Amino acid sequence: MAISHHCAPDREKSPAWVGSLAVFDTFRPISEKSAQFPYADPLPIAGSVELDLPVGRLWEIFLDVPGWPSWNPCIWRSRVRGGVLREGATLLWAFNPIERRYLYKLPATAEIVELVECERITWEVRLPGFHALHSYRFAALGEHRCRFGSWEVAEGPAYRALSRFWLAHFRYVCRESLAGARTLSC
């Protein structure tokens, strides 16, 4: 499958061409809504993985939201209201439990607040006493390789009251998302 023009590696902008990828794992989403998001240790929960896959192909797979459960083990069901992943869209999904012995599915609703083709997508969850941002990052490492990353933060009294659960959940989402992405490599 061909890589769109916007997904081709850019030697001037891609972290792979300018040296260390450490910045990739410590990025902050840059939308207006997320620029001032407060957080402190142990947040953010972040990680990344290198894949033998063109970034354009990974982006195409990621845009198929109903297909997420086929490669991401933390997702049970997923869809986008209106069917198109775009800024302002509503993302609806349910997580599998962090351990199989737990008998729950965790539903979630979020607004897409940032979407930059083949680079990043960020969504925001707002509930009474709970506010979270989760971003997935994409970076070309060459014509046939890419880096995929996950980054998540949260705040609010409901988050703080249940922080042990939420931190375990965020670590689970990061770990399983990266493990699932590894299965997509050529």
pLDDT at 11: 39
Best CA proximity match to 154, nearest among 143, 170, 141, 172? 170
Tens-place pLDDT, residues 11-64: 344 333 323 334 354 555 545 555 566 666 788 999 999 999 999 999 999 999
Q: What is the pLDDT of residues 63-114, one digit of tens each?
A: 999 999 999 999 999 999 999 999 999 999 999 999 989 999 999 999 999 9
Global pTM reads: 0.83
Domain edges within the chain:
43-182
Tokens of 79: 């869809």
In this predicted model, what pLDDT tens digit does every residue of 135-149 receive, in sequence order?
999 999 999 999 999
CATH number of 43-182: 3.30.530.20
E strand segments, 42-170:
45-51, 75-80, 90-95, 106-116, 120-127, 130-140, 146-155
Q: What is the model's pLDDT at position 27?
A: 52
Q: Give the integer Cα–Cα distance in Å for 106 and 132.
A: 15
Average pLDDT estimate for 117-143: 95
- φ/ψ (deg, to 5) at 173: -60, -45
Residue 7 has pLDDT above 50, yes or no: no
